[in-house]
Structures are given as structure tokens and as C-alpha cells.
Amino acid sequence: MTSSIAIVGAGPRGAGLLERLAASAPELHPDGLDVHLIDPYPAGAGRIWRHEQSPLLAMNSMAADVTMFTDDSVICDGPIVPGPSLWEWVQTHGRAGDSQVHPELREELASVTAATFPSRRLQSEYLAWVLRHVIETRPDGVRVHLHRTRATGLTEDGDTQIVHLQAGPPLRVDSVVLASGHLDATPTGDELALAARAVESGLRYLPPEQTTDSDLSVLEPGKIVIVRGMGLAFVDLVVLLFEGRGGRFVDGEYVASGREPRLVVGSPRGSTYHSKTHYGLKAPRPPLPRFFGPDVVDPLIAAGDVELREQAWPHMAKEIAWGWYHELFLGHPYAVTMGWDDFALAYAALDWDSAAMHALIDSAVPDPLDRIDFGSLDRPLDGLTAPDLAALQPMVRARIAEDLRQHVDDRHTPHLGAFVAMLSVYGETTRLAGSLSARSRASDMAWWQGFFNSVASGPPGFRVRQLLALSRAGFVEFLGAGMWVDVDGDAFSAGSATLAGA
């Protein structure tokens, strides 16, 4: 009997799921499989990667690091079906005159390299090609149905799942997968209250949302705009408000167009996400998982009601630091006072954050800059205070510039070792999420996701340099950590813990 599956969301997650279903269909669905892909946005790219966005917006990953296919490095159920990475696709398909590639991307296709951070429009073309390729090469018996509409509801009729569509009749299927990807943020109570007060005072308030979907025309040239949040949406905002309005970066400095506003920016951490690393590992990849794998995670899952910070974080931190020190000892042996084998043996026997662990690291790693510092990674402005906004600017710029230096100077490749370990930890933490206590799920998981994003999902180095140039030119001012925003009469007011003495 033919099976049927509906996938709500036809972006990269939905397309990737279709690829896996098609690869396994001969074994799992020998009698046939109908797959329904549902998305109001272009299939393959979805909302986030759709072509219809500014060509200035870049990916957050290098071309060689992006793929939609499995290879011999992947451990999974089902067949391994290799396919081109984005960089390989550029060389074999994009530059080969694929008639379905937008003509406006020809110039970028000619210049992109393995280490380029491509435009999102180019990624959109790759994702569209991947979906076409998966559909064209699907096994006999697999039928794919594309529904360019929105799913509005999901109900049950016995063992049948019914997906209700905004346009078209309901779909009756055996199973449904929600592959909705990046969802809009639900406003918090404080955000709703601030928005209401802004309306009462005649002020403009843009809520947390995808920057590409925001109406930025309300941000007028020359006006002061308070921005809360310094993650990737903030980076997009900067691109659209400055380069997007005709500004240029020349010899590392910003040349204004006269159409840009002035931004005063802050966040809980008060700084940008850590820059992407621009180097490779000098040592082999660290053997992972080592201290936070199934042998640790499975018993926690079985016990349930896990407190992430108390029960899991010591193992997570030890794993991330393991990646850091593996790279330091084997890639930079001149920076340490003992061999890796001796250090690794002693390290494995000690609890994270214990006095003995601190003593071991301090003895083996003389330079504090070569030691992993989770506090500085998580809260880069901790300990920084300034009497006023003007005095704060060079302080924050110096910290951001130093972070950038460490992520482009290959004397600091332990950052990349820690990143590799964080990816392993992230996978295990995802498995653990459903077994956290209600308190830990609400608080600790949000902290971990924010910390992971700030370390592992930062902007490319060139974006950080552009932000520093905008700060030097006076178009971006940093407000500091522990930011707050309020309405004061007919204007917004803002401050931070960093400026507590101002």
C-alpha cells in the first residue's frame, strides 16, 4: 500500500528530508510513497533563502562548508548518497551555464571561491537546484507534490493526518513532519508593553522579526535609532541601512551617502557575536565525543528532569575545552609546558572547574590568552564600565577588534578546536532537550542556545570590520551590556549596566 507524508516547510530542512526519504524509499516504502511539500515561499530555498532579497546580504558560512548531501563523514541510517557542496556546485553547474540560474548572479559565480561567504541569492540558487535534482533522480514509486501555499491547521481522523491548506483541499496523509525552520519570535510581555507605550507616544517600534521582512523605510536619515540585540539580525540591519542606502566602505573606512540613520546599539552581552574563524585546524580534528557523548547523555535522558547547568554543563564545558586544548597542544606545542598525552591523561581524570583542573591548566598553559575562558566568551564586556557613551566607544571597539584578531590570526586556532567540539555538544544537547526539567528548559536551554549562537554563529570577519568602521565614523554607538529600553515622554530612552555610573 502506498504511504503518504506531508512536509510542512519546503526550505532546506524540508528539501533535506525529501532527499533522505527518497534515498530510503526502496527499502522502507517498496509499495510507493507520496510526499507533499507545503510552503508559500519558493520550494528549496524557502522564506529565509528566497531569491527576492537584497543582493548585499551574505551567507554566514563559506562556500566549501555548505552542503545538502551526505558523504562518508556522515553516520546515519539509510544510504549515503553524495552530492555537490555549494562550492562544488558553483564549479560544476553554476559556472557551466545552468539555464535556470539567474543572470544577475553570473558575476558572483565567476568570482566566488571556496573561502567566500556567498550571497544568500547564490545559496538560493543552489538550494533550488538541490530540490530539482532530488526530484529528478528520485526512485520509481516516489511521487513529489509541491503545494505553493500555507498550512493552516492539522487534525486527525483515526490514523489519518489531515493538513488544512490556505489554498486548495485538505491533504489526507499517513504522517506529517513540521520542517518550518526559522520561526518568527513571539513577543514577550515586556516587548508588547513597550510597543503599546510607543504607539501611545507616537514613536516607531519595530518588533523582533526577520530583518529582510521589516519596513526599514520608517528609519529616517539622520535620526537616532535605538537597536536592542547584536546578533545576526543586527548585522543584516547594518547592511541594509548603510550599504543598502548607498554608503560605501573604502580602504577600511565608511563613506556616507547622507541617507543613513545613526544607531545606538546594545544587548544583554553588549557586543557582537564572535567573528567566524578564518583559518583551519593545525592539528587533526579532536576525537569527539569524548566527555559528552551517549555514555553521559543517555543516563541523563533515562532519569529525566535534568538540570542542564548543574548536571550537563560540567560535561559540556569539559568537552568544549577538550577541543580547545587538543588543538593548542598538538597545533601549537611551543605554547605549552607538557606533552599532549600527559595532559590528556590528567585532564580526563579531573572534574571540570575543580581546583585541580585549574592548577593543571595554569601549569601546562603559561599564557592566559591560550586558556579557554568561558566567562569572556559568554560575557565579553564583563568588568567593563564607562562614565559616558563617548568614553565607552573606544573600549568596546578595542574588545571587538581583539576578538576579530584572534579569529583571523592562525596563532589562535584553539578557537576553531572549541567550535568543532561545540558542534558535537550541540548535537547531544539537542537529544537531551526533551528530558530537561521545565525550569531548565525555559531558562538554561535559552542560555545555552544564546551562548552557542554567540560563539558558533557569528558574522564573517569583513562584516565585523565594517561595523568597526561605522563606529569610528560615528554612525554606530555601542551602549554596552545589560541594556534596557523605555519610553520617556515623546522619546525612547536607553541605558545599560556598563554605563551604570553615567
SS3 497: coil
Confidence of residue 99 (pLDDT cuts 50, 70, 90): low
Separation between Cα atoms, residue 281 and residue 330, nearest integer Å: 10
pLDDT at 440: 97
Residue 299, preceding peptide bond in cis (omega within 30° of 0): no
Quote the radius of gyration of the chain (alpha carbons, Å).
Answer: 25
pLDDT at 104: 86
pLDDT at 98: 66
Is the pLDDT confidence value at 498 over 90?
A: yes
Separation between Cα atoms, residue 125 and residue 101, nearest integer Å: 6
Question: What type of residue sits at position 344?
Answer: A
Mean pLDDT of 443-471: 96
Separation between Cα atoms, residue 182 and residue 175, nearest integer Å: 22
Q: How many CA atoms lie within 13 A of 458 on its CB side?
A: 27
In the chain, where the domains are located? 3-178, 189-272+461-495, 294-456
The DSSP code for 139 is P
Question: What type of residue sits at position 439?
Answer: R
Separation between Cα atoms, residue 348 and residue 340, nearest integer Å: 12
pTM: 0.93
pLDDT at 96: 74
Separation between Cα atoms, residue 422 and residue 455, nearest integer Å: 9
pLDDT at 73: 86
- DSSP-assigned beta bridge partners for residue 248: 255
Cell numbers at 200, concatenated: 501611545
Confidence of residue 102 (pLDDT cuts 50, 70, 90): confident
pLDDT tens digits along 49-97: 999 999 999 999 999 999 999 998 888 899 999 999 999 999 998 787 6
Specify the long-range contacts of residues 423-429, CB closer than 8 Å, at least 24 apart: 423/456, 424/288, 424/289, 424/292, 424/293, 424/319, 424/323, 425/289, 425/292, 425/316, 425/319, 425/320, 426/452, 426/456, 428/289, 428/292, 428/293, 428/294, 428/296, 428/297, 429/308, 429/312, 429/316
Q: How many CA atoms lie within 13 A of 184 on its CB side?
A: 11
Instruction: Give yes or no for a contact between 165 and 151, defined as CB atoms under 8 angstroms apart.
Output: yes
Overall fold of domain 3-178: FAD/NAD(P)-binding domain (3.50.50)
pLDDT at 185: 82
Mean pLDDT of 152-167: 97
pLDDT tens digits along 221-277: 999 999 999 999 999 999 999 999 999 999 999 999 999 999 999 999 999 999 999
pLDDT at 184: 84
pLDDT at 135: 98
- DSSP-assigned beta bridge partners for residue 161: 156, 173
Is the pLDDT confidence value at 450 over 90?
A: yes
Separation between Cα atoms, residue 205 and residue 228, nearest integer Å: 11
Separation between Cα atoms, residue 110 and residue 99, nearest integer Å: 15
Cell numbers at 421, concatenated: 567540539
